[in-house]
Structure 1
Amino acid sequence: MKSPLLCCSAALEEWKCLEDEYQQLQETHRMYLQKLDEITKLQNSCSSSISSHRKRLQEVSLLVNKCSTGPAEEDAKTLDEIKEKIKTRPNAFFEMESYIPKKNGLYLSLVLGNVNVTLLSKQSKFAYKDEYEKFKLCLTVLLLLFSIICYFFVSYRFLDAILNFLLVWYYCTLTIRESVLITNGSRIKGWWVFHHYVSAFLSGVMLTWPDGILYKTFRNQFLAYSLYQSFVQCLQCYYQSGCLYRLRALGERHNMDLTVEGFQSWMWKGLTFLLPFLFFGHFWQLFNSLSLFRMAQLPDCKEWQVLMCGLCFLILFMGNFLTTVAVVRQKVKSRNQKPKSL
């Protein structure tokens, strides 16, 4: 055993090293705070510069449009080049702003308050996007298994309530995560964002539907629909992620683009086999809506959930069907125009 004198000497030596390390730590932290302050000032400066440049760009665009009648040949070429550059600037601003902290939208402000959700590095953005995709796939598989259990093996209202609660939590979580991703540069927008809000509301209404004759009448139809939707979403997640990876590698898609429950123009090559599955799911939503509207007309129907679920399914059908048809129509039209231009 060491003598008390040696132990005391070792303790003093260790403390001296620790004190030196602490001084170095304080200096490192001071530099960190200084750089953080510099970064904040740069962010504010960059944000105000983008805002100012955007306004001036609009003014220049108006001037260019006014000058477009009857200029000299040389000036006409220069004006055309300016027009092309003006068209590319919004995308450049979008990329810049995705790395600058900004105010949260209404939804994120209500849910999270004024917390800054902007991720400042590409690695952090990609990691969060990949985590979103993994969460989406894992929960979809879980919902698929749960739907199979409820449809084929167990018929308890309590388990149905757990399934509907999972659906509410899943869609609410997706809306929050998608809002964060949109803040960080993901280009998911339009109906594919809104339909998650409708789906969350629909699941919440199904959760509150009391057990009774009408609920039992619609139960198996809803569970079969949930099972099919989960299966199609698994199929989409698997194939869309592979297609997106390939398009990103070729530089044809943005690195923050996500998989969606519907059909987009970039899916045309290699993923058109998904269209029959999607259209079948859309018309199943219409069938659910019509079934619920017929049930709402029955004299024994006293639950408000019947009519509300019918309206939700109708909104989902109209939004999904019209958006998918619009994408397909636009893609077919652009393909038909290509040979003419050549």
Structure 2
Amino acid sequence: KMVQGLTDVLKEWKCLEEEYQQLQETHRMYLKKLEEISELQNHCSSSISHQRKRVKELSHVVKKYGKAPSGEDAKYLVEINEKIKMRPNAFFEMESFLPKENGLYLNLVLGNVNITLLSKQSKFAYKDEYEKFKLYLTVILLLFSFICYFFVNYRFLDAILNFLLLWYYCTLTIRESILITNGSRIKGWWVSHHYISAFLSGIMLTWPDGNLYKTFRNQFLAYSLYQSFVQCLQYYYQSGCLYRLRALGERHNMDLTVEGFQSWMWKGLTFLLPFLFFGHFWQLFNGLSLFRMAQLPDCNDWQVFMCSLCFLILFMGNFFTTVAVVRQKIKSRSQKPKSL
């Protein structure tokens, strides 16, 4: 029995040794492919930079001589000009699958770490996880605001709510920066919106419990409750709209739901505009209320004026951005029949 058992052990070890040799070979090939991929990435990045520079130089030449020739040459110049206009989008798509340097914010938070996701599956998975994170936290904030407003009047729970808001917005800024690096087209005011909201939440967290805080408390909790409700509405309707537009090829696969109004939301989502504008004017009301409180003789809390400033900035950014998008959409719709 001992001999038979030892024979089995030797056979098992021999089998394991052969598998280990195969594993070593597979790992060696893996390291070799990694080196090849790194070389290809560097080559693609340098080629894109070279192409971008050459295209820019050629576009100046085309603009300079575009009006001079006629006939066949003019036709070729028009074709070249159209292709030049399409190149930036093509370069953007290529670079979204190549490692790139982090921006200042990500370098400060994460350090010089490569956060580029190199496959479509991993990009989509991270984007979907970001959307679920927004939805789940919005629902939690909605419930928390509801409890604090209607059932519990305790400063410690208010502080937990404000800390949750601070953590939520700070996390969104980091995740959005990673998504932008990986090809999501989050632009303009909606990038800055979460930074200001995180700053506002941090100030609310440090506001000491006093008469001024108690005066503004219910107004802020009601505002938080309403904002969370509108964000839930936006998520469900924007995600449905984005799904349809992606299926039609009209939107990029890495586009995200936002907390404002964008031109692609026009079809079927204009009913959200009254909710959004009401929220914008509530921000103005909060800012003016806090500004009046800051003028009181017994106001010694610096948080009052800073919160007022944050709310007024949020109102101006949200309101004027939404108005600009609506105006642009109405203008483009009115010009369509003329072009036809």
Equivalent of residue 292 in structure 1, options 290, 293, 307: 290
- Give 3-state SS (helix, strand or coil) of 1:251's partner: coil
Give, in whole Å, the separation in 2 of the partners of 1:249 and 1:123. 17
Give, in whole Å, the separation in 1 of the partners of 2:238 and 2:15. 55
Task: State the 1:340 CA deviation.
Answer: 1.3
Give, in whole Å, the separation in 2 of the partners of 1:183 and 1:292. 37
Give, in whole Å, the separation in 2 of the partners of 1:334 and 1:99. 33
Equivalent of residue 115 in structure 1, options 88, 109, 113: 113
Give, in whole Å, the separation in 1 of the partners of 2:135 and 2:165. 13
Give, in whole Å, the separation in 2 of the partners of 1:141 and 1:56. 50
1:256-295 correspondence runs (5 A): 256-295=254-293
Structure 2 length-normalised TM? 0.99
Q: Which residue of 2 aligns with 1:78?
A: 76
Task: State the 1:251 CA deviation.
Answer: 0.3
Give, in whole Å, the separation in 1 of the partners of 2:154 and 2:280. 28
Equivalent of residue 249 in structure 2, options 248, 251, 255: 251
Q: Deviations over 1:267-305 (max 9, x none)?
A: 000110000000000000000000000000111100000
Q: Deviations over 1:214-242 (max 9, x none)?
A: 00000000000000000000000111011
Give, in whole Å, the separation in 2 of the partners of 1:197 and 1:231. 21
Give, in whole Å, the separation in 1 of the partners of 2:4 and 2:305. 84
Give, in whole Å, the separation in 1 of the partners of 2:4 and 2:101. 60
1:3-152 correspondence runs (5 A): 3-152=1-150
Give, in whole Å, the separation in 1 of the partners of 2:105 and 2:26. 38
Equivalent of residue 211 in structure 1, options 201, 209, 212: 209
- Give 3-state SS (helix, strand or coil) of 2:258's partner: coil
Task: Tell whether 2:322 aligns with 1:324.
Answer: yes
- Give 3-state SS (helix, strand or coil) of 2:254's partner: coil
Q: Which residue of 2 aligns with 1:160?
A: 158
Q: Deviations over 1:162-205 (max 9, x none)?
A: 00000000000000000000000000111001010000000000
Q: Which residue of 1 aligns with 2:304?
A: 306
For 1:214, the aligned partner's letter is: L
Q: Could you list the structure 1 runs, at least 4 aligned residues long, displaced by more than 6 angstroms after superposition.
A: none
Give, in whole Å, the separation in 2 of the partners of 1:65 and 1:32. 48
For 1:229, the aligned partner's letter is: Q
Task: Tell whether 2:153 aligns with 1:189.
Answer: no
Q: Deviations over 1:15-52 (max 9, x none)?
A: 01100000000000000000000000000000000000
Which runs of 5 or more structure 1 residues have no equivalent in the other structure?
Answer: none
Task: State the 1:129 CA deviation.
Answer: 0.2
Task: State the 1:70 CA deviation.
Answer: 2.5
Give, in whole Å, the separation in 2 of the partners of 1:313 and 1:225. 11
Give, in whole Å, the separation in 2 of the partners of 1:223 and 1:70. 65
For 1:250, the aligned partner's letter is: L
Give, in whole Å, the separation in 2 of the partners of 1:312 and 1:58. 40
Task: State the 1:88 CA deviation.
Answer: 0.2
Aligned residues: 340
Root mean square deviation of aligned Cα: 0.5
Give, in whole Å, the separation in 2 of the partners of 1:152 and 1:17. 68
Task: State the 1:68 CA deviation.
Answer: 1.2
1:170-181 correspondence runs (5 A): 170-181=168-179
For 2:314, the aligned partner's letter is: L
- Give 3-state SS (helix, strand or coil) of 1:110's partner: helix
Q: Deviations over 1:35-84 (max 9, x none)?
A: 00000000000000000000000111011111112312111111000000
Q: Which residue of 2 aligns with 1:233?
A: 231
Task: State the 1:264 CA deviation.
Answer: 0.3
Give, in whole Å, the separation in 1 of the partners of 2:157 and 2:168. 16
Give, in whole Å, the separation in 1 of the partners of 2:158 and 2:4. 70
Give, in whole Å, the separation in 1 of the partners of 2:128 and 2:67. 50
Equivalent of residue 338 in structure 1, options 329, 336, 339: 336
- Give 3-state SS (helix, strand or coil) of 1:71's partner: coil
- Give 3-state SS (helix, strand or coil) of 1:211's partner: coil
Give, in whole Å, the separation in 2 of the partners of 1:197 and 1:143. 18
For 1:179, the aligned partner's letter is: S
